[in-house]
Copies of this chain bind each other. A is one copy, B any other.
Amino acid sequence: MAAPSGIDFTLRPIGRVESPLASTAEAPRQGDEGAPDAYLILDFDVQAGLHGIAVGDEILVLTWLHQADRKVLRVHPRGDRSRPEAGVFSTRAPSRPNPIGLHRVRVLDLDGVRVQVSGLEAIDGTPVLDLKPVLSGNIGER
């Protein structure tokens, strides 16, 4: 699609993931399948945006899955080649035109711009794009 004129489509990472997961081969398929606790190391210049987030909160973390293949439109779900291919938009596969990861986590600790979170299925060094609250009445997304 031709980009509409005048719109800035460049992401500006607000930090990165610090995790014991070193490669996607180790990463679980979903956050509820044994992903380790991790840290979000945010940039000092976005610290004001954290006001109102507290230990114990459930939040959504949006990441940029920078190792994903952006040309892929069909995948075998969960990488299982015995399953028929599905369109990427009907799966949570990382590979897709805009590989934005969506992770529901709990805030375990908060120290300045260093946020410890529960079970995050993103590898060490993954860029962080955004944090959002889980809305009341919604269970949210992993």
Contact = CB atoms under 8 A, between A and B. Distances in A.
Interface string A1-41: 10110011111111110000000000000100000000000
A9 B9 CA distance: 8
* Chain A: number of interface residues, binned into ranges: 35 or more
Given A52-B86, A64-B9, A66-B7, A100 B97 contact: no
A48 B74 CA distance: 7
A132 B102 contact: yes
Contact of A87 (B11, B48, B90, B134): B48
Given A132-B92, A140-B138, A140-B141, A98 B50 contact: no
A62 interface: yes
Given A73-B46, A96-B49, A138 B139 contact: yes
This chain: copies in complex = 2
A82 to B, nearest CB: 16
A129 B134 CA distance: 20
Interface string A107-142: 000000000000000000101011111110111111
Contacts of A43: 1
A141 B30 contact: no
Interface of A: 1, 3-4, 7-16, 30, 43, 46, 48-53, 59-60, 62, 64, 66, 70, 73-74, 85-92, 96-98, 100, 102, 104, 125, 127, 129-135, 137-142
